[in-house]
Homo-oligomer: A and B are copies of this chain.
Amino acid sequence: MRDINQFTITEAVKKTFKTEPGSRFEQLLRGFIDHLHDYTRENNVTHAEWMGILNFLYDCGQISTPERHEFILLSDVIGFSALVDMINTKGGATEGSNLGPFYLDNAPRMKLGGNLSDGREGVSVLVHGRVTDSLHNPLPGAIVDTWQADASGTYPIQEQEQGQDKYDLRGVFEADEQGRYYYTTVLPKPYTVPYDGPVGRLLRAGNRHAWRAAHLHYIVRAPGMSSITTEIFFDNTEYLDNDAVFGVRKSLIAKLGPASKVDELGYSLERKPDAVCKFDFVLAPEG
């Protein structure tokens, strides 16, 4: 290896890793080394630039905590997260979108028709729809796990120090015999991703804003089906075409309309809504 040069080093480095031949780990590692080295050669990366890249990662590490994963945020703003969501969306199923940093896996179980937003200000909205397979067969008992920001664009988990309950604006619903889910909540507002760290510096250096389009988060599961992680957006709202983390897809934009005909739906609702938003989730079989 004393004979390596800038063209032979890549194969030499890959060979030092004695991974299981043909394994997924080997494939991912080799592909990464190939791309990193190609990038370095193509751009003639200088020592100062190399140090700049490594110090940027160092800074991302320094600001990260169990509650703030700056590397996920970085992945989000450069479209890595969205691309992984796209690649892993199954044919016929609802498109995937960002999990984001605020998911809690033990949100309270709620009854259909319940209200997520007790006492909060904002527009009261009925969110409803069906969970089906790709042939429109209902999936009774499907689990709809949702979480969201409030009408000022804040997640209660972000304001625990101000006395908020982190489980507020979260709920786990079970679809009925027709595969239906329905509940009322407050309409969320757009908000900014954290921009006080290195990722914020990157956004400013690229003259980019940090705003996300308003959205509701979902994980939807049913036995035998691949679960999906996605978001619902609202038509005619801000940032649909320049969401900071590339989460919006046309198929994930729901129509938001007045609640004038809500009685016809026949739901038993805890709170009277001002608006209605309908979205159907489609799950594909597992495997």
Contacts and interface: CB of A to CB of B under 8 A. Distances in A.
A39 to B, nearest CB: 5
Secondary structure class of chain A's binding surface, majority of residues:
helix
A4 B246 contact: yes
Contacts of A62: 61, 64
Interface string A1-13: 1111110011011
B87 A45 contact: yes
Contacts of A78: 13, 32-33, 36
Interface stretch (A46-54, A108-116, A268-276, A279-287): A46-54
A248 interface: yes
A93 interface: no
A19 B58 contact: no
Contact of A57 (B5, B71, B240): B71
Contacts of A82: 4, 9
Chain multiplicity (copies): 2
A102 interface: no
Interface residues of A, number: 75
A58 B69 contact: yes
Nearest to A51: B72
Interface stretch (A168-176, A185-193, A200-208, A254-262): A200-208
Contacts of A83: 6, 9-10, 37, 40-41
Interface of A: 1-6, 9-10, 12-13, 16-19, 24-25, 27-29, 31-33, 35-47, 49-50, 54-55, 57-58, 60-62, 64, 69-72, 75, 78-88, 205-208, 229, 240-243, 246, 248-250, 253
